[in-house]
Structure 1
Amino acid sequence: MKKILIVGGGSSGWMTAIYLNRYFNQNRSNFEITVLESDDIGILGVGEATVHSIRFFFAAMGLDERELIEETNATYKTGIMFKNWMKPENGQTHEYFHPFEPNDQTDRFDVSTHWMLGERFQSERYDEGVCASSHLIKSHLSPKSKNSRPYSGLVPYGYHIDAVLMARFLRRKATEAGVLHIVDTVTKVKTEKGSVTAVFTDSKMLEADIFIDCTGFKGLLIDQLQAENWESFEDVLPCNRAVAIQVGYTEQTDIKPYTLATALDYGWAWEIDLANRRGTGYVYDGSLLSKEDAERELRAHIGEASKGCTAKHLEMKIGCRKQFWIGNCIAVGLSGGFIEPLESTGLHIINIGAKLLSTHLSSSDLNNNVRLSYNKAMSGVYQDLKQFIVLHYCLTDRDDNAFWRKAQASVNGCPSLGEKLGVWRSKICEYLDLAGGYTTTFTDENYRYVLYGMGHFPSLSLDVDVAELERTRDAHDKKVAEICHQAVPHKDLISEYRK
C-alpha cells in the first residue's frame, strides 16, 4: 500500500485528507494517508466565507450539515453586497449584490435582455430584477425554509465559517475515518532527483510515495524542488496585505446572511457575521499604505465596536505556482497560490485541487503527462479566477487616488477580458463567451451580476412586446414573494442551532 504524507493541517490539509481518504479508502484501503501538522503554527483564516459549491464538498464527505454549522459557529451566506465600488450617484452610495442564484428562465429572450429592454435599470438594481436572494436579505431572511433538506435551500447558499473550528471539525472526522495524525514540526526536507524522499521533524523521519504541501505561503516542500516557481498577479491585483479585527455582538445585532465588501481608500473591507462574532478586515495595497494607517482606516470604518479589539496583520502572496506538481510533491491551498479573498475562493480552490488530485493519483503510472495535466488544469483555474476578480476593479469610475486609478487600468493585464468588455458593450454576456474555461463556479450569470452592478450595460436595439416584458416581471415578482414567504428568518435559524 502506498503512502501519502500531507504536511500542514488547516483547511487545505484536512480538506485534502478527508477527500482523498473518502475517494481511495472508503471500501478498500489503497493509500495510507497521514497529516503532519505543527501545533504552534496558526491557521490564516482571513475571510471565513465560502462560495456555494462548498456545500457539495461537505455533502460528498458524508458530513452532517447541522453538526458542521453548530461546531464551526457557521451562518448562511447567500452572496456578497458590494458598496462604494463606484462614485456616489445623486448623493447615494453605490451598491450591488452578487448572489449565488442562477437567473430566471424566460420564453424567448434571456432575463438579462428582458431587464435591459424594459429599462428597469432606471428604477432598480439588476440583482433585484432577476433573483430572489436580493429580496431575502432585505428582510433578513435565510436561504432555507422549515422543510429544507440538508445542503439544499430555497436559493443556493454558502457559509460564513470559523476557519480554525472547521479545521478541527474536519480533523476529527478524518481521523475517525482512518487518516493518521502526527503533531510535530518540520525541521528538514530531503530531496533527491527532483522529488521529496523524506521529511524530518524534531523527533522522527517520515517517508512517503506522495508528499502534499499544505504549509501555506511558506511552501516548505515545493520550494525545495524548484526555484523561480511563482507567477505573481500583483501587477493587476496589488492588494497584498490585510489587517483583521474580530468584534463582538450586542443583543440588537442582526446577523447578516451575506458578506459585505466595502471599498475604502486603498482596497476594501469585509464584514462576515458568524454565529458568535463579526469578522472584519481591510485588504489593501501594501505599497501605498502602511500597516499603521491601514489599521486606523479599518477602525474608523468599524467605529466604536473596534475599541479594545486586537488587530491581526497579514502578508499575502497574490499569484500561483507555475508548477503545482513537481516530482512526487503537490502544492495545495496557499502553498499553490492565492487570489485575494474578494469572492471567497480560498476553500473552493482547495476543493478543486483535492478533486483533481484524486483522479490524477488513480493510476500506478504517475508519468509526466499526469503532472502536466494537473498543472495545466490548476493554472487555468487560477487564471480564470484572476480575470473574474480583476473585473470587479477595472469597471470602477473611482479616480480619487492612485489606487483606484490603477484599478481602472488593471484590465490591461488581462487582454482577453478587455476584448470581452468591448463585446459586452454591444451584447449581453452569455455562456459561450466564457465556455472552455477551467472553473465553472463563476459563469456568465456571475459575470452579469458584476457587469451590470457596475453599470457596464450593453446597447441593445430590439423591438419587444411590452406585454411580454410585463409577464416576465410579474412572474419574477410572484416567485420572489413565494420564496420570501417560505424563508425562515436568518437570526432565528442560527439561534435554533445554538440552543
Structure 2
Amino acid sequence: MKSRAIKTLNIVGGGSAGWMTAIYLNRYFNRDVKNYQINVIESPDIGIIGVGEATVHSIRFFFAAMGLDERELMAETNATIKSGIMFRNWMKPVDGNTHEYFHPFDQQQPGGSVDISTAWFVGGRSDRQRYDEGVSLNSHLIKSGQCPKSGSSPQFQAIAPYGYHLDATLLARFLRRKAVEQGVCHIEATVLDAEVEQGEILSVATDQGSFSGDFFVDCTGFRGLLIDKLQKDNWESFSGVLPCDKAVAIQREMPEGATPRPYTVATALSSGWAWQIDLVNRQGSGYVYDSSRLSPEQAESELRSFLGTDASVIKCTHLDMKVGCRKDTWVGNCVAVGLSGGFIEPLESTGLHMIHLGVSLLATHLAGDDGSAVLRASYNEKMRGFYQDLKQFIVLHYCLSNRDDSEFWRNAPATVEGCHWLNSRLPLWKHKICEYQDFAGSYASIFTDTNYRYVLYGMQHYPSPRFSMSDTEVGTIFGRFEQLVGRAKTASMEHDKFLKLVHG
C-alpha cells in the first residue's frame, strides 16, 4: 500500500465549526492509517456565538457518520426533536386569522397517475386545507404533539426525517471531547498573527508560542483571521437582497406549563422575524432585523413585547451578522469553514449544514492533493454555488409576502430582482408545478423542489393546472396518504415521552 508522510493540519478556532471539522477530518483521514496530525488551536478567552440551536434534518447523517451515539448526543446538548418550521405572520391575516404555514422535513408520494402536489391542486383542496397538511406526515404528527421517533427507532432513523433543537455551546463541548478521545490534539492558545509567505500560511503565532503546519482551516468566525491574511477583497455581500444584518437573542426559561414543541417557530415582526426554539431546559429566541430600520434597543423592546412576560429571561445578547460569502473559500493552503467562509441569515437553520457541507467537500478534495489549483478551483466553485442557491431560497420567503404594514415589508418583494434565477422561475411557477427538473444546473444541496413547494404554496404562490381528474382518482391518492398518516400516528411517540426516555 502506498503511503505518504504525515502532514500537520491546524484548525484555528473551536466552536461548532472547529470541532465538526476536526472530528470529520480525523475520522476520514486517520481512522485506520494516520495521514494528518490534526490540531485545534482554540482560545479560552474568545467565546462562541452559540445561538444557532436548530438544524436541518441532514445533520443526522453527519452525526451518524462520526460514529456518535444519538441519545448521548441529545442528553449532553439538552436536545429536542425538530420536525420542521412553523412560519407565522409572513403574509397579511386571512379572514382575521394570522397567516401560518408549516415547512416540514418530509413530503409523501403515495402513488397515482400524478404526484400528490398536483393532485392537491387539481382536486381543489387548497380551499379547505393547508398544503403541508395534504402531503406531510410531520405536519399531522405535530398537531398531536408527536415526533417521528418511536421507542424502537434505530439511532438517527425514524418514521419521517427530523433534525434537532440543541444547545450549540454544549454541542461544541461534546464534539471536542469526542474528537480528543479519537486522537485530535487540543491546543488552548489565542492566535495573534499568521506568518505568510508566497500566498501560503507557514505558521500561526499565539500567546503559547508558534505553530507551523502544512494546511490550515480558518474557523475564527466573522473575523476570518487567516483567510483575510491571504486574500483581500474576498467577500461578496448579500445585503442588497438580505438586509437583515443584526440580531438580538434572548434565552429564557420555558413558560410555565409549556412542553417543548417538536418544531421551530419563525414569526415575522415589523422589520425582520423572530425565532423560538424549545430545548428541554429553556427556550432560545431571537429577532433577526434590518438595522437601518431599528436600533438594537428598539429591536430588543419589540422582541420582549412579542415574547411576553410568562417566563424569566436568562440572558440577552446583541449580535452583528455579516451576510454573504467568500468569493474564494480556499486560498493557498487555507480553507475557511463556518462563519469565516460565509453566512446566510438563520431562517432555515442552515449554519451547521453549511459547516457539514464545507468540511465533507474539503475531505474529498484534500484526499486528492492539498496543493492542487484544480482542486481549489473546484472547491471554490461549489461553495460559491451552495451559498448562492441558499441565498435565493431565503429570499423566496420574503419576496412573496403581501404585507404592507411597514417599510421593511413593502420593500420585501423587490429583493427578488437581485436573484436572476429565482426571478425567472416565479412566473413559471404560476403556470406549472415546481418540479425537480426546474433546478437543472443549480447547486442545490438540500433545498430542492420539495422545499420550494412548501414555501411557494404556504405563501399562496399557486400554479393553475388546466386539466381535470376524477374525484375517484383524487380520493384514492389522498386515501392512501391518510392511511400513511394513521400508521405514522400509531407507530410514533409523543414528543415529551420520547424526551423523557432520553433525558430521564
Length-normalised TM-score, structure 1: 0.99
Contact 2:108–2:481, Cα closer than 8 Å, also in 1 = no
Q: Which runs of 5+ in 1 are unaligned?
A: none
The equivalent residue for 2:224 is 219
In structure 2, what is the equivalent of residue 42 of structure 1? 47
Does 2:447 align with 1:442?
Answer: yes
Which amino acid in 1 is paired with 2:96? Answer: G
After TM superposition, give the deviation of residue 361 of structure 1 in Å: 0.6
Alignment of 1:84-483 (within 5 A): 84-250=89-255, 252-305=257-310, 307-364=312-369, 366-483=371-488
* One-letter code aligned to 1:208: G
Deviation at 1:46? 2.3
Q: How far apart, CA to CA, are the structure 2 residues paired with 1:146 and 1:311?
A: 37
Q: Contact 1:34 / 1:180 at 8 angstroms: preserved in 2?
A: yes
Measured against aligned partners, the alpha-carbon deviations of 1:308-346 in whole angstroms (never above 9, x if no partner) come to 543100000000000101100110000000000000000
Q: Which one-letter code corresponds to 1:188 in the other structure? A: D
Q: Secondary structure at the match of 1:252?
A: coil
SS at match of 1:98: strand
Residue type matched to 1:149 in 2?
P
Work out which of the residue numbers 15, 22, 26 in structure 1 matches 2:27: 22
Separation (CA, whole Å) in 2 of partners of 1:251 and 1:290? 31
Query: Cα offset for 1:13?
Result: 0.3
Q: Give the Cα–Cα distance (whole angstroms) in 2 for the partners of residues 159 and 198 of structure 1.
A: 37
CA contact (8 A) 1:299 1:306 kept: no
Give the aligned partner of residue 487 of structure 1: 492
Aligned to 1:51: 56
Q: Contact conserved, 2:151 with 2:498, CA < 8 A, in 1?
A: no
- Between the aligned partners of 1:48 and 1:250, the Cα distance in structure 2 is 18
Answer whether contact 2:138 2:147 (CA < 8 A) is retained: no
Cα distance, 1:463 vs structure 2: 2.0
Contact 1:229/1:322 (8 A) holds in 2: yes
Superposed CA offset, 1:423-444 (max 9, x none): 0011000000013322331110
Q: What SS does the aligned partner of 1:425 have?
A: coil
Alpha-carbon distance between aligned partners in 2 of 1:368 and 1:13, rounded to the nearest angstrom: 24
Greater displacement, 251-260 / 125-134 = 251-260
CA distance in 1, matches of 2:412, 2:312: 32
Q: What's the CA shift for 1:475?
A: 1.1
Letter aligned with residue 329 of structure 1: C
Q: 1:306: Cα distance to partner?
A: 5.4
Other structure's SS at 1:144 match:
coil
Structure 2 length as normaliser, TM-score? 0.98
Aligned amino acid, residue 477 of structure 1: E
What percentage of residue pairs aligned between the two structures are identical? 58
1:447 maps to a residue whose letter is Y
- Asked whether the equivalents of residues 103 and 445 of structure 1 are also in contact (C-alpha less than 8 Å), the reply is no
Cα root mean square deviation, aligned: 1.0
Preserved CA contact (<8 Å) 1:199 1:205: yes
How many residue pairs match? The answer is: 499
Write the deviation string for residues 129-150 of structure 1: whole angstroms up to 9, x where unpaired. 0111111111110111122111
SS in 2 for 1:305: coil
- Map Cα deviations across residues 136-170 of structure 1 (whole Å, 9 max, x no partner): 11111011112211100111000001000000000
Which stretches in structure 2 are left out of the alignment for 5+ residues? 1-5
* Structure 1 position 474, deviation (Å): 1.1
Show CA shifts across 1:172-226 (max 9, x none). 0000000000001011111111111110001210000001000000000001111
Determine if contact 2:10/2:38 at 8 Å carries over to the other structure: yes
Report runs of 4+ in structure 1 exceeding 6 Å deviation: none
Rounded to whole Å, the distance in 1 between the matches of 2:330 and 2:78 is: 35
SS in structure 2 at match of 1:276: coil
| Alignment partner, residue 3 of structure 2 | none
Deviates more, 1:488-497 or 1:346-355: 488-497
- Between the aligned partners of 2:79 and 2:294, the Cα distance in structure 1 is 32
In structure 2, do the counterparts of structure 1 residues 290 and 365 end up closer, same or farther at CA, with 3 Å as the change threshold? closer
Provide the rounded CA distance (Å) in 2 between the counterparts of 1:306 and 1:35.
38
Query: Greater shift after overlay, 250-259 or 212-221?
Result: 250-259
Residue by residue over 1:218-269, the C-alpha shift from the partner in whole angstroms, topping out at 9 and shown as x without a partner, is 0000011111110000100011100011111255112100000000000000
Q: Which amino acid aligns with 2:254?
A: Y
Amino acid at match of 1:311: C
Shift in Å, 1:485:
1.6
Per-residue CA deviation, residues 349-370 of structure 1 (Å, 9 max, x unaligned), is 0001111110111134622111
